[in-house]
């Protein structure tokens, strides 16, 4: 049975309350806007964004997530780090494109999984927990009226970038979360049919 089937149990429940409907509308309208401009979250809003990150599911309560905030003039310094890393990877790259990446939003947050190895909780699960924390941050930004864009790429895998951010050998750089306000008003996102991505397991031999 498809989850989009009107007879599906999830769709036959009592109507949502106004608060529930509002919450679901926010979740279902989240996008990754680009470009991002001022204003960025202020101190109070940023505290809420990081508080949301703390509620991510976390096997073993290891709390592997770590975040490094980059804003103001520090973005220019990070841009220089990006440019040097790009030139080291490719002598024919002047690094200017990567320098600009650090200035593409009023605030960036380096997303780090501080993994504990060896540990009974596999490294992959610790990385997943950090990713869940980032998703909570994206949702919190959207709820607060800001935009968030999670970017990965070559800088996330560059040892010189990691070193410049003060990361250790057990840290995994999962990308950068760009924060700000969407420059443009985005049209509503296309609503995907979840039934195209979900199936119900039928035990072998029961059909």
173 within domain boundaries: yes
CA angle 18, 22, 27 (to 5 degrees): 150
Is residue 137 within 8 Å of 72, Cβ to Cβ?
no
130: closest CA among 149, 159, 110? 110
Is residue 136 within 8 Å of 150, Cβ to Cβ?
no
43 within domain boundaries: yes
Beta-strand ranges (E) seen in the chain are: 36-37, 65-71, 107-114, 147-151, 171-182
- The CATH number for 176's domain is 3.40.109.10
Is residue 177 within 8 Å of 94, Cβ to Cβ?
no
pLDDT (0 to 100) of residue 92 = 87
Which tokens belong to 21? 């409907």
pTM of the model: 0.90
Which residue range forms the structural domain that includes residue 129?
34-182
pLDDT in tens, the chain (207 residues): 455 555 555 544 568 999 999 999 999 999 999 999 999 999 999 999 999 999 999 999 999 999 999 999 999 999 999 999 999 999 888 888 899 999 999 999 999 999 999 999 999 999 999 999 999 999 999 999 999 999 999 999 999 999 999 999 999 999 999 999 999 988 888 888 999 999 999 999 987
197 within domain boundaries: no
Q: Kindly tell me the burial class for residue 37, based on how many C-beta atoms sit within 10 Å of its own C-beta (0-12, 13-18, 19 or more).
A: middle
Q: How far apart are CA 37 and CA 107, in angstroms?
A: 9
196 within domain boundaries: no
Give the number of domains in the chain: 1
Q: How far apart are CA 72 and CA 74, in angstroms?
A: 5
Q: Kindly tell me the burial class for residue 113, based on how many C-beta atoms sit within 10 Å of its own C-beta (0-12, 13-18, 19 or more).
A: buried
């Amino acid at each position: 049975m498809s989850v989009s089937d009107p007879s599906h149990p999830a769709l036959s429940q009592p109507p949502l309350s106004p608060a529930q409907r509002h919450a679901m509308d926010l979740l279902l309208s989240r996008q990754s806007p680009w470009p991002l401009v001022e204003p960025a979250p202020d101190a109070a809003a940023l505290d809420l964004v990081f508080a949301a990150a703390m509620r991510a599911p976390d096997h073993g309560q290891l709390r592997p997530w770590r975040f490094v905030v980059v804003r103001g003039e520090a973005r220019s310094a990070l841009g220089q780090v990006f440019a040097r890393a790009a030139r080291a990877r490719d002598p024919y790259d002047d690094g200017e494109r990567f320098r600009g990446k650090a200035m593409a939003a009023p605030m960036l947050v380096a997303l780090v999984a501080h993994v504990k190895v060896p540990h009974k909780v596999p490294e992959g699960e610790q990385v997943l927990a950090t990713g869940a924390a980032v998703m909570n941050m994206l949702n919190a930004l959207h709820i607060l009226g800001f935009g968030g864009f999670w970017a990965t790429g070559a800088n996330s895998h560059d040892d010189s970038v990691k070193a410049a951010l003060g990361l250790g050998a057990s840290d995994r750089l999962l990308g950068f979360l760009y924060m700000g306000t969407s420059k443009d008003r985005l049209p509503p996102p296309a609503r995907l049919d979840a039934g195209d991505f979900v199936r119900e397991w039928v035990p072998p031999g029961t059909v």
